Amino acid sequence: MSFIKDIIKLRNFVLLWLGQSISSLGSSMTSFAITIWAFERTGSALTLSISGMLIMAPKMVLGVFVGPLIDRMNQKAIILISDIGAGVCTLTLFLLLRADSLEIWHIYSLNFISSILGSFQYPASDVAVSLIVPKKYYVKASGMQSFSSGTIQILAPIFAAFLLAFTDMSVVILFDFVTLVFACSTLAFVVKIPFVRKSEGQKFSMMHHLHELRSGFSIIWDSILLKKLLLFMAIINLLAGLTYFNILSPMILARSGHNAKVLGFVNGAIGLGGIIGGFLVIFMPTMKSRVKTMFLYAGLSFFFGDFLFAFGNSMWIWGIAGFLSSVFIPPLIANESYFWRTIVPIEMQGRAFSFKYAMKSGMIPVGMIIGGILADCVFEPFMASESNNLSFMFNSGKGMGMALMFLITGILGTTLSMMGFFNPSLLKAEQETEKVSYKTIA
């Protein structure tokens, strides 16, 4: 009987995962097309940095406050409303483009709205997974999500480039809208997500809301492991915001003569790494220490990925860098997710996950805006000047300043990861966590 119940729960997860994966494919295709469109018109890495920052920043601000609402509301309804709002944004983008009225500030505004919706959707989706997936399948479920992310990373630029070659960007955006409709329909009519209603008579008040926020923060603060892992992931996202999430596309375009095929190939290699990494999570046995696994894979990603991105000057080297930077990420994320799902009680995961997203996502826009300014105003002008002595390291041409930034984040990320790997206090905290059983908090 227990096995049958597990199968039923996994069935709901698979359906939810399928709908979200197809929807993500459409949105990734639109993002790829928009990146090319924006960079062709501005030639500025800072423009893309601001766009990316407006996707991440609201998650940082709202994420701190929306957690208790996610715990109290129906998670399925939250995800549905967020998807419908994203569909409205996509349709608006489509209409602006068809009317030949699309401007950069429109993209900024739509990214900002989408981010507000995402600040509710992402933690609600995480709580939903905890509700419909048995604990023993947490890591495997994360592996499936990484697998789909990697597949999307490969397929999105291929499909988008194909459509752009024979049609225009409006067709890509329309496809995005269709995939959103599919995701909403699947979630609304097929997927079943249990909802445990809070006790009747509890009305919203600011004092009670703040009390719930404090209780969610206390769960994190009282866990040495969660606290240190959150700090580590926040710093990683800061470094990734400086380069990986920010100037990778403009660097590839600048150093390849604005060759969209090269950028598509690199994105495909990153996606392939995600697919292989997802398979590793699903099929490989768990290592003895999940903490050491996290820091080891983080260090390998920085060492192989960032250094090869920095010194590479061809499609194949960048492709290898993309693969090696992403293949180690799924095991890192899966083990981090395991600790959060097992340590935080299910009825408090909304507020805890929202705080986690706020801190982690908040570092990305900070890194992106700093990275965009450094790329346009510091490193690119410096590497283009006659006074620099570093050109021999990166070959000549545009984008050398951004390549230097990858070298710097590679050194910092690898060093930080190795410091965590050899830190005995983290291993001790993991061992103590295995013995601790948090009581359910009403």
What is the reported pLDDT for 339? Answer: 86
Stretch among 16-25, 90-99, 274-283 having the lowest mean pLDDT: 274-283
Q: How many CB atoms lie within 10 A of CB 430?
A: 18
Could you tell me the two tokens for 440? 């359910």
Evaluate the CA torsion angle 418, 422, 426, 430 in order and state its sign. Answer: positive
Q: Could you read off the pLDDT of 135-158 as tens digits, one per residue? A: 778 878 888 888 887 788 778 877
Averaging pLDDT over each range in 114-118, 132-136, 286-290, 307-311, which range is the top one?
307-311
Structural fold of domain 2-191+205-435: Growth Hormone; Chain: A; (1.20.1250)
What are the CA-CA distances from residue 41 to residues 170, 370, 402 (Å)?
17, 22, 19
- What average pLDDT does the structure give for the chain? 81
Distance separating alpha carbons of residues 191 and 182, to the nearest angstrom: 12
In this predicted structure, the answer to whether residue 199 has a pLDDT above a threshold of 60 is no
Could you tell me the two tokens for 286? 């768990």
In this predicted structure, the answer to whether residue 219 has a pLDDT above a threshold of 70 is yes
Find, among 127, 219, 234, 233, the residue nearest to 433 by Cα: 219
Q: pTM higher than 0.85 for the full model?
A: no
Name the one residue in this structure whose structure tokens are 């602006």.
96
Distance separating alpha carbons of residues 308 and 322, to the nearest angstrom: 9
Could you tell me the two tokens for 367? 């890194």
What are the CA-CA distances from residue 194 to residues 70, 197, 250 (Å)?
14, 10, 44
Using DSSP's 3-state secondary structure scheme, residue 249 falls into helix
Alpha helices (runs of H) in 74-103, residue ranges in sequence order: 75-98
Find the mean pLDDT for residues 27-55. Answer: 74
In this predicted structure, the answer to whether residue 418 has a pLDDT above a threshold of 90 is yes
Find, among 440, 439, 383, 387, the residue nearest to 408 by Cα: 383
pLDDT band per the 50, 70, 90 thresholds, residue 430: confident
In 4-131, DSSP assigns E strands to none
Pairwise pLDDT comparison (40 vs 370), residue with the higher score: 370
Distance separating alpha carbons of residues 256 and 142, to the nearest angstrom: 35
pLDDT band per the 50, 70, 90 thresholds, residue 405: very high
Find the mean pLDDT for residues 385-405. Answer: 76
Angle between helix axes 224-242 and 329-343 (nearest 10 degrees) is: 150
Q: Could you read off the pLDDT of 262-307 as tens digits, one per residue? A: 887 888 888 888 889 888 887 777 667 888 888 999 999 999 999 9
